[in-house]
Amino acid sequence: MDIISPCPRYSPRGLDCPALPAGQSIEYSMSSPLGAKEPLCKHTVPFPTPSATWTAGQSVTVKFAPGGSPHGGGHCEFSLSYDGGNTFVVVYQVLRYCFGTDQNTREHTFDLPAGLPSSDKAVFAWTWVNAMGNREFYMNCADVVIKGGSAPFTGKAMTIANHQGYPSIPEFLGNYDTGLELYGKNTITVTGVGGSNIPEPKKGEQSQQPDNPEKPEKPEKPQKPQKPEKPEKSHSKTVDEGIEPTNNLEIQIVPQINQVNNNGGAFIVEFLPNGENDDVGPGRCDDNPEDDPSSASDGGSGLEITTDDVVNYPGNDKPAGRSICVLGTYRCGTKPSEFEVCDNLGWVSRPCAPGTVCLMGGMGSSPCQLA
């Protein structure tokens, strides 16, 4: 998921985007989460002109790109920075269901706080911790002008989670209160001159600074070349080497695409006698949606496999394979008010929210919808 208005930095599909800064390029992975070592906002060079001009107290609308994978919703915050994107104060929150209970909400309208200070170089940020799938932190930033007062403004500090050096929020698994204890526990004061004054957090509270900031590594001393060691003899040899395995079996992974709507997306691993899968191409486990257009994930499908059940083949000439589920997929349970989600241990039953029932299986959309 990514915002398109106000236009975030370097967006290829944002609305009314300014010209790119000199030496910068279009960002074609706007809907991906922040990488482990990427800074807040991902791009730290601002647009030469603002994407929007807002007045303190006015109503503003933030729009998302159509489609996308809402990953079951989750916690969203809309924040402003007055120090170039180092610290942020929250101006609006949508907790639990960032994209609505039906997962179809693609814009939010809210009033800016009336007490915001003025700034010609404020940074607006949308941040999101997804409810389902890999534990990730999404963030888009836009350069805006704020017309306000001259007094400092104090509000909630923006929550950062599932990013290197910060706390981790686990997958919700049906409990949409997961991680709420991290939201709004710390406050921040911002001023229109660009500075931010962050009170020291109380014990157990979160700071916007990482817990373990990385120190630059010292360059290693060059080492003398060593004599190459003799390769050790291996007792296990792979099929890729063209050598017959010791167990005389070859393995192929067969995607069962037609099962997605029935069991949440499954794959079957078949163990075949050596030589019977010569016509099978190489398998692939890719979490890059740009390389694989069929992927429904924003920042990677996070394919993880777990044992589900045993597939019985007719006859006794082939050993059994195993059916496996994909992390983040789900299917309806035995009751209309329940759904099952795939985690590291297999299918786990979870209740739907009050007033909703499970209507479908798959990945990326909420399984529970209004009855």
Quote the CA–CA distance of 46 and 281 in Å, as a whole number.
46
Q: Are 21 and 124 in contact (CB under 8 A)?
A: no
Position 370 pLDDT exceeds 50: yes
H runs (alpha helix) in the chain:
260-263
Region of 241 please: left (phi>0), alpha (psi -120 to 50) or beta: alpha
**Least confident window among 114-118, 167-171, 240-244, 362-366:** 240-244
* Of residues 72 and 277, more confidently modeled: 72
| Confidence grade of residue 331 (pLDDT, cut at 50, 70, 90) | confident
Give how far the C-alpha of residue 289 lies from the chain's centroid of Cα atoms, to the nearest Å: 13
Q: Which residues pair with 273 in a beta bridge?
A: 249
Position 289 pLDDT exceeds 60: no
Quote the CA–CA distance of 65 and 81 in Å, as a whole number.
23
Residue 295, token pair as written in the block: 């992927």
Q: Find the radius of gyration of the CA atoms of the chain.
A: 25
* Of residues 163 and 225, more confidently modeled: 163
pTM of the model: 0.57
Quote the CA–CA distance of 159 and 130 in Å, as a whole number.
13
Quote the CA–CA distance of 124 and 52 in Å, as a whole number.
10
Domains and CATH numbers, the chain: 1-215 (2.70.50.70), 239-370 (no CATH)
Highest mean pLDDT among 77-86, 234-243, 268-277, 280-289: 77-86
Quote the CA–CA distance of 139 and 158 in Å, as a whole number.
11
Contacts of 316 (CB under 8 A, 6+ apart): none
Strands 138-147 and 52-55: parallel
Which tens digit of pLDDT belongs to each residue from 208-222?
A: 555 554 444 444 555
Question: 3-state SS of 47-106?
Answer: CCCCCEEEECCCEEEEEECCCCCCCCCEEEEEEEECCCCCCCEEEEEECCECCCCCCCCC
Question: Residue 240 burial (CB < 10 Å; 0-12/13-18/19+)?
Answer: exposed
For residue 132, give Cα distances in angstroms to 1, 56, 246, 262, 330.
13, 35, 40, 19, 10
Q: Are 188 and 89 in contact (CB under 8 A)?
A: yes
Q: Report the helix count and the strand count for the chain, using DSSP H and E.
A: 1, 20
Q: What is the largest CA-CA distance in the chain?
A: 81
Residue 102, token pair as written in the block: 């039906």
Position 275 pLDDT exceeds 60: no
Half-sphere exposure in the Cβ direction for 130 (13 Å, CA): 30
The pLDDT of residue 116 = 97
* Mean pLDDT, range 305-324, rounded to an integer: 38
Handedness of CA 34, 40, 41, 47 (dihedral sign): negative
- DSSP letter at 261 equals H
The pLDDT of residue 161 = 96
Quote the CA–CA distance of 342 and 264 in Å, as a whole number.
8
